Amino acid sequence: MDSYFRDNPPTPEEIAKWRADLTRGWPYTEDDPEPDFFDWTPDPDRSATTDSIYLLKATGNWTEEDERVAFDPSKPPPRPLAELEAEHDAFMKELLKNAKPL
């Protein structure tokens, strides 16, 4: 697949469609793959999600945001570390300001 996409890079429209398909099969987990039985009719939404994940990864367009959307769209995006550290420092400063010595 790698050589195909190297010679034929995906268009922005294709990438947008793949990203839109990420939530079709939600909740998606890698540890329960679709059964591969001849008499089993696959879920088209789940298949679209699986294909989109493979295509985004194969083309090098897979991002952390795609990972979050595909595997847990209910979670908000992670906050920057600097913001979390500043919030923690302010909390500790306030906590120590009101602390009484033992």
Indicate the residue type of 26. W
**Residue ranges per domain, the chain?**
2-77
User: Quick one: how far is CA 97 from the chain centroid?
Assistant: 40
Q: What is the mean pLDDT of the chain?
A: 79
Class of residue 95 by CB neighbours under 10 A (exposed 0-12, middle 13-18, buried 19+)? exposed
CA atoms of 84 and 47, how far apart (whole Å): 37
Torsion of CA 61, 65, 67, 70, to 10 degrees: -100
* Closest listed residue to residue 63, CA positions, set 48, 85, 78: 78
pLDDT tens by residue, 8-53? 889 999 999 998 888 777 666 665 555 555 555 567 878 888 889 9
Q: At 86, list the tokens.
A: 């500043």
